[in-house]
Amino acid sequence: MIRHLRTIVDLSRAEIEALLELARLIKRLGLPESYARVTRGKTLGMLFQKPSTRTRVSFEVGMVQLGGSAIFLTEDSLQLKRGETIADTAAVLSRYLDLIVLRTRDHGFLVTFAEHASIPVINGLTDQYHPCQILSDLLTIQEKFGGLRGIKLTYLGDGNNIAHSWLLGAAQLGLRLTVASPAGYEPEASIVAQALELARETKAQIEITHDPIAAVQDADILYTDVWVSMGMEETRQGGCSAFHPYQINGALLARTGKPTKVMHCLPAHRGEEITDDVLDSSASIVFDQAENRLHLQKALVTQMLVWAAERA
């Protein structure tokens, strides 16, 4: 059975931990030759329906550094635009490529594509989930804190794909997570329920609240994202005022009561969800996060190709 990364729960806790270890190894020493034999000469396809800086560049550069190549595709450049089915497109691209990253609006598009692909499919972002971001964030947290145990992360803002993936990732790994969102902008109830169900098994501590002040108390990490996600601009017009109490600024950061790190998946709307003085401060590890997209995704591509080779 082909392994895909549709959401972070497609990986077990042990697999996530092994992936983080491989990413640390690659970052420190480069890819071991035993893995390089798997990645050398392989081709990664990148089918993107949304703009991208970090996801595109990190996957493309990473694949080249692994000894392979990458092809960037847009919906407009394929026959999808003229009515070819997702299933047929997946079947055809599977004959040319070794694995593919999809960055798309509709998570259902990715699920359907994966169902009909005979190569690994990686979720490079959908409106519901962004697993690659959270995996690389976990790598960054490990580096900065020496591990994940006991760390409290507070996410502030829209209950979007980042919040959803943090809920599932924290639940899968048994972490402490508080999500603080304005009323009406909470994470999807079904995803919260899934996270809470997982948390019962892993002993994770998951909290959903509307109170940003209470949420940040004793937090080791404050995390935020844009208030209006890509593709949501029209539906969220005029809604930003509800988010103002959730802005990460100096005053809110001081409320944690401890030395706290600040994370943002980028791009940032400076002066909205986060202020310049915080984003550019010593508390910020935002650009370390961005760098670690490269290292984690090199590990992810390698592992997916290893699993595919084992199946062959």
Catalytic residues: 103, 130, 133, 225, 265, 293
Q: Extract the tokens encoding 102.
A: 């999809």
Rounded-to-integer distance, Cα 191 and Cα 189, Å: 5
120: preceding bond cis by omega (within 30 degrees) = no
Entry field: residues in the chain: 312
Q: Give the Cα separation of 294 and 177 in Å (integer).
A: 25
Buried b (16+ CB within 10 A) or exposed e, 156-188: bbbbbbbbbbbbbbbbbbbbbbbbbbbeebbbe
Query: Is the distance from CB of 72 to CB of 101 less than 8 angstroms?
Result: no
φ/ψ of residue 62, rounded to 5:
-60, -40
> Per residue, what are the HEC states of 160-223?
CHHHHHHHHHHHHHCCEEEEECCCCCCCCHHHHHHHHHHHHHHCCEEEEECCHHHHHCCCCEEE
Q: Rounded to whole angstroms, how far apart are CA atoms 238 and 245? A: 15
Give the orientation angle of helix 286-311 with respect to helix 13-29, to 10 degrees. 110
User: Residue 257 burial by CB count (10 A; 0-12/13-18/19+): exposed, middle or buried?
Assistant: exposed
202: closest CA among 177, 185, 222? 177
Strands 152-156 and 176-180, how do they pair?
parallel
